[in-house]
Chains A and B, each alone.
Chain A
Amino acid sequence: QKEVEQNSGPLSVPEGAIASLNCTYSDRGSQSFFWYRQYSGKSPELIMFIYSNGDKEDGRFTAQLNKASQYVSLLIRDSQPSDSATYLCAVNMYNQGGKLIFGQGTELSVKP
């Protein structure tokens, strides 16, 4: 079992819809959780992080964390074609410094 799992996609949503990206992790010692966006040929860009159970909102983005279910998600409201990218979920383990374990990423395509 991979430590961090994401559906590779592609996930296709129409413009203006809500895109829902999901991530599960295996280690209950995981402490903080990150979502990165990566455009083709570019490096990952930090969108959000969360470390407490519940929801965290930033503009059109909402991160949701459920530690009991070992599940973290990213919702993108009012999706735009410019949101089309690969979204990477990353997990930081307690007592492992800043080392991030990444999922393989979910490709999102927003159709005009």
Chain B
Amino acid sequence: GAGVSQSPRYKVAKRGQDVALRCDPISGHVSLFWYQQALGQGPEFLTYFQNEAQLDKSGLPSDRFFAERPEGSVSTLKIQRTQQEDSAVYLCASSAVQKYTYEQYFGPGTRLTVT
């Protein structure tokens, strides 16, 4: 079946611009996660949804970052007034909740470059 999809795959923004990154999870997956990956590092957690409820946003680096999943399916990560330090790959993952594990499957990512 179809995996996690993300759009756009690449985004170049001028400093100060707002951007919106979209994630379409695997059909039926109730949990959705956003991660940020800097070059040469492992992904870092940003936020997590279960259905439409945002249960953890502890990883969002500033109040310029905002995520939503209004209907419990597609999610959007919005970054306002982008800064150069926001340049990274933004990864979305989805998971069907299991008893002991949350096996997360990643989308291809959106590479954001802020100039």
Contact = CB atoms under 8 A, between A and B. Distances in A.
Interface of A: 4, 31-32, 34, 36, 42-46, 49, 51, 88, 90, 92, 96-105
Interface stretch (B64-72, B77-85, B102-110): B102-110
Nearest to B100: A51
A92 B101 contact: yes
13 contacts: A36-B106, A42-B108, A46-B103, A51-B100, A97-B50, A97-B56, A98-B97, A99-B48, A99-B59, A100-B33, A102-B35, A102-B44, A104-B42
B100 A31 contact: yes
A49 B101 contact: yes
B103 A49 contact: yes
Interface of B: 31, 33, 35, 40-45, 48, 50, 55-56, 59, 89, 91, 95, 97, 100-109
Contacts of A90: 42
A8 to B, nearest CB: 8
Contacts of A92: 101-102
Contacts of B107: 43
A98 B104 contact: yes
A44 B95 contact: no
Nearest to B33: A98
A contact face: mostly helix, strand, loop, or mixed: strand
Nearest to B31: A98
A42 B106 CA distance: 10
Contact of A43 (B40, B41, B59, B109): B109
A56 B63 CA distance: 42
A100 B102 CA distance: 9
Given A49-B101, A51-B100, A97-B102, A102 B43 contact: yes
A102 B108 contact: no
Contacts of B50: 97
